[in-house]
Amino acid sequence: MRATTFFLIAAALITGTVSCGGHESYTLTIASTSGGSVMAPGEGTFTYPKGEVVNIVAAIDVGYRLVNWTGDVSTIANANDAITTITVNDYCSIIASFEEADFMVAAGYYHTVGLRADARAVAAGDNEYQQCNVGGWTDIIQVAAGVEHTVGLKSDGTVVAMGDNWLGQCNVGNWTDIIRVAAGLHTVGLKANGTVCAVGFNSYGQCNVEDWTGIIKVAAGTQHTVGLKSDGTVIAVGYNNYGQCDVGGWMDIVQIAAGDRHTVGVRSDGTVVAVGYNNYGQCNVGGWTSIIQVAAGGRHTVGLQSNGTVVAVGWNWAGQSDVGDWSNIVQVAAGNSHTVGARSNGTVAAAGWNGFGQCDVDTKSLN
C-alpha cells in the first residue's frame, strides 16, 4: 500500500461575532499547509454578515487529490468538490483533506509517463534512450519526464531515473529525503527541509540551486529551474534570453510550471501569470480564471479549471491545444507538442503530435 500523506486546510474557523452596520457578522479564518491551498477567498481572516454564502476553492497540487471537506460540513454545498460554497451562519470549522493521488501523468519532449494506482510506472513514446523502460519500477509516488529521460520518486525519499544520461541528468542514485522531482535537460529534487538539489545540463546555471531555502514546489523547463517559496514568491535560475526567469515580482503564487522557454504561475485567486517566449501566444493567460493547475509545454500552456475542464493557448500545429472538449480531468501535463490529461476515473486523454506514439494512451487506465 502506498504511503499516503494527508494535508489539511483549516478553512473556516469562526472566531467570534462582530457588529457590522447593525447586522450580526462572523469572522472567517482560512489557512493551509503544503499539498494544497485555498484559492478563494484566499487565506487569512475575513468578516461576513450572518448568512453570507462564500465561495471556497481548494487548489490541488500536482500528484495529490482532494479527499473531501470534513468537519462542520452541514452548510457546505458539496463536501466532495474542490470548488464549492459555505454559508457563514454559525460557529464552524471545516478541513479540506488531501492525499497523494493514486495516479498521475507526466509529459516529456516526445514521451508520456503514467503512475498507476499500484505505484508502478508506465510509459509510451520515444524510447531511443530507454526513457520508457520503467516497467520494473515499484513503490513510486511521483514521476517526472524530461527531454529524453524519466525520473521516479520512491516512497522512501530516494529517486530512480532512466534514459539519456550524457549530461548526468540520471545520476540521482544517492539522493535521499526527496519529496518532489522535476525534469528538463536536468533533474531537480526538492528535499523535505525545503532545500533543492539538481544534476544534469548546467550551461546556464539551471542546476545552481544549492543555496535555495524555504522551497515548497519545483518546476523544470528545458534549460531553467523554478522554485516556489513558502511565502508565495518565486525564484528562477537558468536560461533567460526570453525573460522566462523574470519572476522576482510574482506574489501570492500557489503553483508553478516551466516550459521550454516560458514560466507559468497560478495565483491564489485562480488567475494565471506567465513570462518568457510568447511568439505563439503561450503566455496569453491573463484572462484565465478558476485555474487549479497549469502545465507548460514546448510552446503552449495548459490550464486545468476547477470544474475539471481544460483550456490551452499557444502553438497548436499538431492539435496539442485542442482540449476544449475534455472533462472530468484531475491533472494535466504538457510535452513539446502534446498534451495529456488524467481523468477522475483513471483513464487518460491525449492530444497533439503522435510521431512516437506518445499520445497512444487514450484507451489505457491507470487504475
Domain spans in the chain, listed from the N-terminal domain onward: 7-99, 101-352
Q: Which of 77-91, 187-201, 203-217, 284-298 has the lowest mean pLDDT?
A: 77-91
pLDDT on residue 296: 98
**Secondary structure of residue 25 in the 3-state scheme:** strand
Nearest alpha carbon to residue 254 among 28, 3, 18, 32: 32
pLDDT digits (tens, 9 = 90+) for 37-46: 666 676 677 8
Cα separation of 114 and 341, whole Å? Answer: 10
pLDDT on residue 280: 98
Q: Give yes or no for a contact between 257 and 294, defined as CB atoms under 8 angstroms apart.
A: yes
* 60 to 34, 168, 224: CA distances (angstroms): 10, 32, 24
For 162, residues 6+ apart whose C-beta sits below 8 A from its C-beta are: 130, 131, 133, 134, 149, 150, 170
* 186 to 129, 145, 238: CA distances (angstroms): 15, 10, 11
Reported CATH class of domain 101-352: mainly beta
Query: Other C-beta atoms within 10 Å of 333: how many?
Result: 29
Give the whole-number percent of the chain exceeding pLDDT 90: 60
Output the pTM of the full model.
Answer: 0.79
Cα separation of 301 and 312, whole Å? Answer: 6
Q: Which three cell numbers stand for residue 213?
A: 531555502
Query: Other C-beta atoms within 10 Å of 53: how many?
Result: 12
What letter would DSSP give residue 365? B
Instruction: Report CA 274 to chain centroid distance, whole Å.
Output: 15
Q: Is the confidence at residue 25, as pLDDT, over 60?
A: yes
Averaged pLDDT, 22-28: 73
Q: Give yes or no for a contact between 242 and 280, defined as CB atoms under 8 angstroms apart.
A: no
pLDDT on residue 7: 32
Res. 23 pLDDT band, cuts 50 70 90: low
pLDDT on residue 21: 42
In the predicted model, what is the mean pLDDT of the chain? 87
Q: Which three cell numbers stand for residue 293?
A: 493547475
Tell me which amino acid residue 215 is: I
pLDDT on residue 272: 98
pLDDT on residue 57: 72
**Secondary structure of residue 321 in the 3-state scheme:** coil
* 231 to 32, 38, 40, 323, 334: CA distances (angstroms): 12, 14, 17, 33, 27
Higher confidence at residue 72 or residue 294? 294
Res. 94 pLDDT band, cuts 50 70 90: confident
Res. 364 pLDDT band, cuts 50 70 90: low
Res. 58 pLDDT band, cuts 50 70 90: low
Query: Other C-beta atoms within 10 Å of 42: how many?
Result: 14
Higher confidence at residue 138 or residue 55? 138
Cα separation of 227 and 206, whole Å? Answer: 11
Nearest alpha carbon to residue 266 among 95, 33, 62: 62
pLDDT digits (tens, 9 = 90+) for 199-238: 999 999 999 999 999 998 999 999 999 999 988 999 999 9
Nearest alpha carbon to residue 35 among 57, 10, 64: 64
pLDDT digits (tens, 9 = 90+) for 295-330: 999 999 999 998 899 999 999 999 999 999 999 998
Nearest alpha carbon to residue 151 among 119, 180, 118: 180
Taking the CA of residue 17 as centre, how many other CA atoms within 13 Å lie in the half-sphere pointing to its CB? 13
